[in-house]
């Protein structure tokens, strides 16, 4: 009998349904799991499912029976991959489930910021339009996306889908590859300096690793256009929050839309949360990936990967029993 344990089921909406697991397996799920609870909850597990619960070498070394880790997300940064390779622990992740929902979220942030939605909503709450003497009320300037240059940091499926939507808005698109890819869909990648200095809007779509942590800090923000909009739906630590808020306050750049922060959930005194009142800053609580449709695709793919491992394990046991 194989035990499958989902450590943080609450990271998926309650209405998401799971397929049946392969036979000869038991399933246990926990809404959330604290770091100090992980080892005890996985002590009999063959397969661990985790979205955000960290499985590092210290924890994994106490779980010799663990044979497979299924990450209920795309990013591997919560798993010690080197340890897993050494101990022959299979690690899987979810791919291509969120390219449409994240790219749509990017454009939601982009449109809200270029059309000054937050600013105009505030003026309505202040009764400014209601007290004006004409049919329209001008405060903050609004801009078209048409003709603007979109710089994409990253070359994966989400970045490519974002580029497709941008083409419908008649935008020019450039890619920068932190992993040094030379081209995307026959389009030559440019260097980071070109992305920073020529883009009207920059959207981040790369994984978090040692090369991308603090990729956007004070130096990079100073290279951007004064009216540049920065969008981050990837991982929080890729952008230096202190440098970004300083740039927004000083109008070094035009605006920012964030779906991720360095620490999640953020502390009450997080510098970004302390500046939510800024008209040129929009923050959403890490939900770009979380449409119901995308979560169901994730759940289906997740159980397919679990079942594939279980099926192979059962076949291996059957082969041993016939020897």
Give percent helix, percent strand, percent coil of the chain, each to the nearest 5.
35, 15, 50
284 CB-contact burial (10 Å; exposed 0-12 / middle 13-18 / buried 19+): middle
Q: Are 145 and 247 in the same domain?
A: yes
Angle at 14 between CA 12 and CA 19, to 5 degrees: 80
Provide CB contacts within 8 A for 219, sequence distance 6+. none
Whether the full predicted model's pTM is greater than 0.75, yes or no, is yes
Tell me what pLDDT residue 313 has. 74
* pLDDT at residue 322 greater than cutoff 60: no
Q: Are residues 84 and 108 in the same domain?
A: no
The verdict on 75 and 213 lying in the same domain is: no
Confidence of residue 323 (pLDDT cuts 50, 70, 90): very low
Output the pLDDT for position 77: 84
Residues 237 and 299 in one domain: no
Residue in 100, 105, 205, 286 annotated catalytic: 286
Residues 275, 136, single domain; the answer is yes
Place of tokens 């080892």: 39
Average pLDDT over residues 255-261: 98
The pLDDT value given to residue 267: 93
Q: Are residues 275 and 300 in the same domain?
A: no
Where residue 83 sits, what CATH number does that domain have? 3.40.50.720
Q: What is the C-alpha to C-alpha distance for residues 189 and 182, in angstroms, rounded to an integer?
A: 5
Residues 88 and 217 in one domain: no
Helix crossing, 99-114 with 157-168: angle to 10°?
Answer: 50
- Nearest-10 crossing angle of helices 99-114, 292-321: 160
Average confidence (pLDDT) over 24-46: 96
On whether both 146 and 78 belong to a single domain, the answer is: no
> Is 9 known to be catalytic?
no
* Domains in the chain, number: 2
Instruction: Assess whether 316 and 225 both reside in one domain.
Output: no
118 lies in the same domain as 219 = yes
Query: Is residue 286 among the annotated active site residues?
Result: yes
Q: Looking at the structure, do residues 209 and 182 belong to the same domain, yes or no?
A: yes
Does the annotation count 235 as an active-site position?
yes
Considering the candidates 181, 264, 267, 293, report the single residue annotated as catalytic.
Answer: 264
Mean pLDDT, the chain, as a whole number? 94
Mean pLDDT of 249-271: 96
Question: What is the domain range of residue 29?
Answer: 2-95+292-321
Residue 316 confidence class, pLDDT cut points 50, 70, 90: low
205 in the same domain as 117: yes
Kindly report, residue by residue over 96-145, the tens digit of the pLDDT: 899 999 999 999 999 999 999 999 999 999 999 999 989 999 889 999 99
Contact 6, 49 (CB under 8 A): yes
């Amino acid at each position: 009998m194989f035990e499958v344990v989902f450590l943080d089921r609450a990271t998926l909406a309650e209405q998401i349904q799971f397929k049946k697991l392969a036979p000869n397996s038991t399933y246990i799920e926990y809404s959330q799991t604290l770091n100090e609870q992980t080892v005890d909850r996985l002590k009999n597990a063959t397969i661990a499912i985790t979205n955000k619960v960290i499985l590092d070498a210290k924890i994994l070394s106490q779980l010799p029976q663990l044979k497979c880790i299924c990450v209920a997300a795309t990013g591997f940064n919560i798993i010690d991959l080197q340890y897993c390779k050494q101990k022959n622990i299979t690690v899987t992740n979810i791919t291509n489930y969120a390219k449409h929902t994240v790219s749509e979220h990017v454009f939601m942030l982009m449109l809200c910021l270029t059309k000054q939605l937050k600013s105009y909503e505030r003026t309505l709450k202040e009764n400014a339009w209601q007290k004006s003497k004409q049919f329209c009320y001008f405060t903050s300037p609004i801009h078209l996306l048409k003709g603007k240059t979109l710089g994409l940091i990253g070359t994966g499926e989400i970045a490519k889908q974002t580029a497709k939507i941008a083409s419908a808005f008649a935008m020019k698109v450039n890619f920068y590859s932190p992993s040094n890819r030379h081209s995307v869909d026959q389009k030559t990648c440019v260097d980071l300096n070109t992305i920073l200095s020529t883009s009207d809007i920059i959207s981040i779509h790369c994984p978090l690793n040692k090369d991308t942590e603090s990729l956007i800090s004070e130096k990079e923000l100073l290279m951007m256009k004064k009216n540049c909009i920065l969008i981050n739906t990837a991982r929080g630590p890729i952008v230096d929050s202190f440098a970004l808020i300083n740039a927004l306050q000083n109008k070094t750049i035009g605006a920012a839309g964030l779906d991720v922060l360095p620490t999640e959930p953020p502390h009450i005194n997080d510098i970004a949360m302390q500046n939510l009142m800024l008209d040129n800053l929009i923050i959403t609580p890490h939900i770009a990936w979380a449409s119901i449709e995308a979560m169901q695709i994730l759940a289906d793919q997740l159980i397919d990967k679990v079942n594939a491992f279980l099926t192979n394990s059962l076949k291996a046991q059957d082969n041993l029993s016939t020897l």
